[in-house]
Amino acid sequence: MTATKHSAVYASLGYKDDAGVFLESDADEQLLISIPFNQIVKLHSVQIQGPNDGTAPRVVKLFVNKESMDFGEAEDTKPVQEINLSDADVESGALVPLKFVSFQYVRRLVLFVQSNTGGGDITRMSKLSLLGMTVDTTNMNDWGKHKG
């Protein structure tokens, strides 16, 4: 994947309000994006935006807690959820609800953009937002032994 106009920094942050900044595929229409979280999260929605020139994502497969995944695996593995975006969804950046039960304990999210809206060899994504909250967890190793 190729970052265009410094988009890799903004894509990794998940939000940028400049439609001229985007993440772009380099060899074909597919993109594979792996997002690790510092703590466990619950996700309820995703927002994907792209240009209205036929290069915006169309089919996006979501995988939860896959530590490593390549394009072949992403093609062959059943996703936790598959999203089919309309032209209007990606143009407006519509919020897409996620399956509640499947996204309650997420350490890593992998997004596989399988195809784009125009069927061409380049896919561009100008905005990716993940909406949710952290899961409160207690690390028992942080607790000392009680002396008493």
Residue 106 inside a domain? The answer is: yes
| 88-112 average pLDDT score | 94
Give just the sign of the alpha carbon dihedral 74, 80, 86, 87: negative
- The pLDDT score that the predictor gives to residue 21 is 77
Question: ∠ CA(71), CA(34), CA(111), 5° rounding?
Answer: 65
pTM for the structure as a whole: 0.80
Residue 96 inside a domain? The answer is: yes
Contact 29, 122 (CB under 8 A): yes
| 73-85 average pLDDT score | 97
Q: Where in the sequence is the domain holding 32, given as residue range(s)?
A: 2-135
pLDDT category of residue 26 using cuts at 50, 70 and 90: confident
Using the CB atoms, write b or e for 51-77: b if 16+ within 10 Å.
Answer: beebbbbbbbbbbbebeeeeeeebeee
DSSP 88: H
Residue 27 inside a domain? The answer is: yes
State how many domains the chain has. Answer: 1
Mean pLDDT across the chain, nearest whole number? 84
